[in-house]
Amino acid sequence: MTDSNTQSAGKMLTRASVYGTVSLALYFLLYFFEDFILEFTSRGGWYFIAPVVIAFVFSYFHGAFTSHFWDTLGIKAKK
Amino acid sequence: MELATNFIPLDTLDVTYLLVVGFIGGLVSGFIGSGGAFVLTPAMMSMGVPGIVAVASNICHKFPKALVGAIKRAKYGQVDVKLGIVVGISAEAGVLYGAHIQEIVHQSFGDAGSNLYVSLAFVVVLGVVGSYVLWDAIKMRHTAGNEPEKASCLARWVQSIHIPGTMVYFKSLNARVSVLFTIPLGFATGMLAATIAVGGFIGVPAMHYVLGAPSLMASATELVTAFVMGVGGTIKFSWSGLVDIRLAMIILAGSLFGIQLGAIGTTYVKPHMIKMVMGTIMVLVLFSRALAIPVYLSELELIDMLEPHFSGALLNISFVVLIAALAAGAAIVFASLWRGISTSRREAALATTPATMFAPDVVAMPTSPQLSPLGRFERFLLATDGSEYSAGAVRESLRMAGKCGARVRTISVVAGGDAELYAMGEQLITKELNTARAHLDDVQRQASAAGVACESEATQSGQVYQEIVSQAERMQADLIIMGRRGRHGLARLMVGPSTVRVIGHAHCNVLVVPRAAELVGRRFVVASDGSRFGDAAAVTAARLAKLCHTPITVVSVIRPEHSEERRREAHTIVGRIVSFLKQEGVVVEGIVPHGRPDEVIVQTANAKNSDLIILGSHGRTGLERVLLGGTSERVIDQARCAVLVVKSA
């Protein structure tokens, strides 16, 4: 019982770390290429797709990270 | 490459500010489905972001946030995707129309006119919907308890209307509803979203009160609607190149932490808390906007010009109240989450501790052919806290159980509702429980020595009285026996100790035994006001008097101001009960004294050297008890002997 708990806690921590790293990398890219990304996403017209895609990508990785983050801290939904 | 003129440079302070506001906004959105974003547009504008870019960036962060929140809450089975999409599509039309109206107002009346229009929309919508939601939350908190939510009359009517070709089944409603109802609701939601940035202030109450969705599902489904609206809004604004993706993603970084936490919080609370948070925020935002209205009226010269410093002060206070609204909502969510998780962990800790369970499915053979539940004394629930105040209850319950041949279940409930207690650590809880178990072991030894069947359990609950009442229900107790704390007067009413609450909520009789009281069967005093509650007390007294071979004095008190007719009635009441008791073979006398009922009943018991007062309970609780009832409580307060409060079946 304790072993399986430890294993699942380990998995959770690994997942949180992976998603957290990707999320951090995305925000770093946003910061590093700030001017280009801002110019590209504000061109208007069919470029509207750019902010929408960026929002989806960020929400996927950062959303998964935040979910695992609270799980890792032991803050989970009531079963 | 130069930044576009619409976009401002960001420093560390700006980023931190957006992260914090985003987190709090996300927390509230995750909990009530919306309502976290209204403060973000003014927050960004306060940093120097142009209004239109602030609105565009806010919307661009909202749709991914709503998506993550909806997915999270869908895992808890709270989302009705079909309803969210159907409402969301019509909301898109509402957003476009609402934005069009905004443009017309802006062209006709300028910035001040536009601001006044928005503020008036806030005040009217939040005044009507917000106050109703808050009122309903307070009402639910006091009346509903653990009962499931019921659909409103309006929702039942909407669900009963059948319009061929327009009916759609929604799982959250568990009914088919015409889309002719959902379309205007979605449209209104979209219009509000375009006007005040929070369509959910109409969307959630509409799904709950008009369509009949449970409030938890309504708030979760609103996230789907917000997602649909958000995607549409983002496309519209980014087509014009107005979205500042940096602002949107920074806010998203904070809000996704918040929305996950808010969604988790919904699994720990009762439905009324969703309404409580939503209603509180709505009413506070209403005040915020109402404060700004005189400024805009002044700018439009509809009222006398305000001093510039006065206008500035009003707008600043308005913004602070807006922030306070969000902070208040977040604080309630945090508190609910903390309390819920603390309780859940304590329950988990208790589940792993060994407990001897009472076996209520085995009913003891009655010792006499007594079929009235009022006079049955076969199963006792003894609630003890191990203190000196419970000593009388323990002693007399075993004595009485010996006489009646009853089984006794003894419980000791460790109070642990406050977060502080849990914060002190599980060790403290374990220590409290161990102390309680040691005391219960001692009670069991006494019971064994007295030849009484006894089982015991130490438990923990946020509300001691609820646990006692619930255990009594589970074991189908005939009698709850408790001690009495030495609290009197107003403090008793205000503090509301467990004993008083148990009497108010229990369905079986409750015996309150002061520390020094003895139940040896010298004499019982039965008090009656002629109601069915008084009759129930008489029936119970008859049974107990026969078991203990005890004489009874029947009392019906009349006040000096009572009419002659009421006095005659009191004599009739006493005569009737005396006749009944005589038929039961009990030695009985009847008296009709004057004075304040509680004082006279206690005086009579003292004068007759009675060891038990028996009276009926009207079973009132809460404010009604304070205002109307309370004779039994005052008797319990003042009596030196034990008091048996008989609950009418």
Which residues of chain A have a CB within 8 Å of the CB of B4?
38-39, 42
Which residues of chain B have a CB within 8 Å of the CB of A58?
64, 249, 252
- Residue A79 in any domain: the answer is no
Mean pLDDT over all residues of chain B?
Answer: 80
Give the per-residue pLDDT at B618.
66
Give the per-residue pLDDT at A32.
92
Q: Mutation target for A interface from B62, B260, B270, B346: give the one with most A CBs within 10 A.
A: B260
Residue of B nearest to A57 (CA): B64
Q: What DSSP state is assigned to residue B388?
A: G
Asked if B251 has any chain A CB less than 8 Å from its own CB, the reply is no
Rounded Cα distance between B381 and B456, Å, is 10
Confidence class for position B374, pLDDT limits 50, 70, 90: low
Containing structural domain, residue A55:
2-72
Q: Do B6 and A50 touch (CB under 8 A)?
A: no
Give the per-residue pLDDT at B148.
57
Q: pLDDT of B280-312, one tens digit each?
A: 888 888 888 788 888 888 887 888 877 888 888
**Number of C-beta neighbours around residue B297 at 10 A:** 16
Give the per-residue pLDDT at A55.
94
Q: pLDDT of B178-206, one tens digit each?
A: 999 999 999 998 888 877 777 788 888 89
Mean pLDDT, residues B433-439 taken together: 82
- Is the predicted pLDDT of residue B360 greater than 50, yes or no? no
Q: Do B241 and A70 touch (CB under 8 A)?
A: no
Asked if A48 has any chain B CB less than 8 Å from its own CB, the reply is yes
ipTM score for this prediction: 0.93
CB B154 within 8 A of CB B132: no
Place of tokens 């979209």: B190
> How far apart are the CA of A10 and the nearest CA of chain B, in angstroms?
21
B589 compared with B292, residue with greater pLDDT:
B589
Give the per-residue pLDDT at B364.
41
- Residue A12 in any domain: the answer is yes
Confidence class for position A40, pLDDT limits 50, 70, 90: very high
Q: Do B261 and A30 touch (CB under 8 A)?
A: no
User: How far is residue B127 from each of residues B172, B207, B532, B598, measured CA to CA in Å?
Assistant: 27, 18, 45, 46
Residue type at A71 in one-letter notation:
D
Max avg pLDDT among B135-144, B218-227, B405-414? B218-227
> How far apart are the CA of A66 and the nearest CA of chain B, in angstroms?
5
Give the per-residue pLDDT at B620.
52
Mean pLDDT is lowest, of A24-28, B269-273, B348-352, B612-616, for: B348-352
Rounded Cα distance between B504 and B482, Å, is 14
The H or E element spanning position B626 is: helix B622-627
> How far apart are the CA of B460 and the nearest CA of chain A, in angstroms?
18
- Three-class SS of residue B628? coil
Which residues of chain A have a CB within 8 Å of the CB of B259?
66
Percent over 70 (pLDDT), chain A: 89
Q: Do B257 and A66 touch (CB under 8 A)?
A: yes
E strands within B504-564?
Answer: 509-513, 524-527, 552-555
Number of domains in chain A: 1
Q: pLDDT of B591-633, one tens digit each?
A: 888 888 888 888 889 888 898 999 887 655 544 444 335 677 7
Residue type at B456 in one-letter notation:
S
Structure tokens at B429: 């809880």
Rounded Cα distance between B72 and B83, Å, is 17
Rounded Cα distance between B612 and B617, Å, is 16
Q: pLDDT of A48-75, one tens digit each?
A: 999 999 999 999 999 999 999 998 888 8
Structure tokens at B152: 């409103």
Q: B636, B354, B365, B333: which is closest to B514 by C-alpha?
A: B636
Mean pLDDT, residues B158-184 taken together: 88
Q: Do A55 and B60 touch (CB under 8 A)?
A: yes
Q: Mutation target for A interface from B249, B264, B266, B346: give the one with most A CBs within 10 A.
A: B249
- Residue A32 in any domain: the answer is yes
Mean pLDDT is lowest, of B69-73, B145-149, B257-261, for: B145-149
- Residue A78 in any domain: the answer is no
Asked if B147 has any chain A CB less than 8 Å from its own CB, the reply is no
- Is the predicted pLDDT of residue B535 greater than 60, yes or no? yes
